[in-house]
Amino acid sequence: MSDDRFPHEPSVAIDLSRRKEPSAGRGVRASLVEVRHVAAPYVTMTRIALAQLLRSRLARAGALMLACLALVAIFADVLASDLPVACRWRGAVYLLPNVTHPAALSGVDCAAMRRDRGPGDWLLAPLVTRGPTEAGDDVEVLLPPLSSGHPLGTDSLGRDLFARVVHGTRTALGLGLLASLALVAIGVAVGALAGFVGGPIDALVARAVESLSAIPTLVLVLVVGALVPHPTTATLLWTIALTRWTELARLVRAEVLSALGTDYVTAARALGASPGRVLLRHALPNAIGPALVAAAFGVASVVLIEAAVDFLRVGSPDTMASWGEAMGEARSHAEAWWLVAFPGAALLTTLVALNLVGEAARDALDPKLRGVGAEMGTGG
């Protein structure tokens, strides 16, 4: 990664040099207008990048896929739950009991409600009336897709696969987003610190980055999960966030360093800006691009690792619905192709969408690669 990313930044310098001239007044104002006019296309990097991003058809496709997945994750309870979306039961009306799980409805599910419905009771059932963790009876084990009540079939415990895939979306995206946010926060903070303070702290961070990136994440996550007394999903989240910030920290550090070498930072310092202001207002905004790209790829890698860990550790006491877990279950049931196909398709869609958005964002934000894109555009 080259450090001189922004070759067109003389605008501020020109501005200042003109201001020093004794014959100020109108001349300065005119030159400022001129400079702004010349510099305009270069100054708002973010706006250019955003426009570029929106122009990319692949990025829009990826974003659309992600939006759909996000909707599935948000409305997972409406798509598949053992309780209705709304109902009147024993004279009381419940709204969204599938989200709130009221105590009065514990022990009943949609099937039971339909069966012993009293006069005046009604219910609005979700698409599939089974929760993701609800095991079925013996007849319901390993049903193929399109069985009655189970559009995608069931797994070896008789749990509805549709419900598990839908709720698995929530697990994957929620975990990915949280871990990615933590990762970006750590990466930006550490990278900014290393670049801005420099010296021994920089050397320390450099060693930390090198050593952490030498540890295979998947292996570390597996091992930490086995060593911690009571592993939860939070363990996985923190393990990934605390070890995967390294790539971003390196990029942010490079951005901060290159910004500190620019004339506009020198100018800001000369005008008496505090170090904090220089860092936050002048240096760090350059790192927004890498941070966004790292966030997109971070979500992808968390989703991937979570799936792989659940795939390998199938049978571990974890009640969360997860794509990887469903696929891992298929390992001992050769005939159950649906256990691989549907969760696998969901996983692949998510990863492809995240990669599409991430790559489009990177191409849009990296001027070096932008040239490539423009050339391709003109060449048809």
Partner 1 sequence: MLRYALRRVLWAIPTLLATSLVLFFVTTLAPDPGSPGTDDPLVEEAHRARFLDLPRFVNANPQDVRSRTLEALGHLASGDGRHEAAARELARLGGAALPYALPQVESLPPDARGRVAVALAPVAERMGLAQADELRRPGAAALFWSRFWDDRALDFTSTAVDRAVGRLVEHGSDLRENDLLSLDTFALPEIIVAMAGTTDGVALERLTRIASHVTERGPVLAADATREQARRAVADWQEWWFVHETDFVALDGAARAVAVVTETRYGKWMKRAASGELGVSAIDGEPIAEKLRARAPITLLVCALAMLLSWALAVPIGALGAWRQGRAFDLASGAVLFVLYATPTFAVAEVLRRLTVGQAVSGGRVTLAVAALAVGSVATLSRWQRAAMLDVVRQDFVRTAHAKGLSAWRVAVVHALRNALMPTVTLAGLHLPVLLGGAFVVEEVFGLPGVGFETLRAIEAHDAAWLMAVVLASAVAVTLGLVASDVAYGALDPRVREELARRQGGRTA
Binding site for partner 1 (CB under 8 A): 3, 203, 206-220, 222-229, 250, 253-254, 257, 300, 304, 307-308, 311-313, 324, 327, 330-331, 334, 337, 340, 344, 347-348, 351-352, 354-356, 372, 376, 379-380
Q: Considering the complex, what minimum distance in angstroms separates the CB of residue 254 from partner 1? A: 6
* Closest to partner 1 by CB, 2 or 106: 2
* Closest to partner 1 by CB, 120 or 199: 199
* Closest to partner 1 by CB, 147 or 211: 211
* Closest to partner 1 by CB, 10 or 198: 198
* Closest to partner 1 by CB, 80 or 357: 357
93 φ, ψ (degrees, to nearest 5): -100, 130
**Phi-psi bin for 130: left (phi > 0), alpha (psi -120 to 50), beta?**
beta
* Closest to partner 1 by CB, 79 or 360: 360
Handedness of CA 221, 222, 226, 232 (dihedral sign): positive
- Within 8 A by CB and 6+ apart from 68, the residues are none
* Closest to partner 1 by CB, 18 or 313: 313
Q: Considering the complex, what minimum distance in angstroms separates the CB of residue 121 from partner 1? A: 45
Q: Considering the complex, what minimum distance in angstroms separates the CB of residue 165 from partner 1? A: 14
* Closest to partner 1 by CB, 93 or 228: 228
- The CA-CA-CA angle for residues 332, 317, 238, to 5°, reads 115
Instruction: Give the integer Cα–Cα distance in Å for 319 and 233.
Output: 11
Cross-strand pairs, 87: 94, 123
Q: Considering the complex, what minimum distance in angstroms separates the CB of residue 164 from partner 1? A: 16
Instruction: Give the integer Cα–Cα distance in Å for 145 and 199.
Output: 61
Cross-strand pairs, 160: 154
Q: Considering the complex, what minimum distance in angstroms separates the CB of residue 280 from partner 1? A: 22
Q: Considering the complex, what minimum distance in angstroms separates the CB of residue 118 from partner 1? A: 48
Length of the chain: 380
Q: Considering the complex, what minimum distance in angstroms separates the CB of residue 355 from partner 1? A: 5
Q: Considering the complex, what minimum distance in angstroms separates the CB of residue 127 from partner 1? A: 26
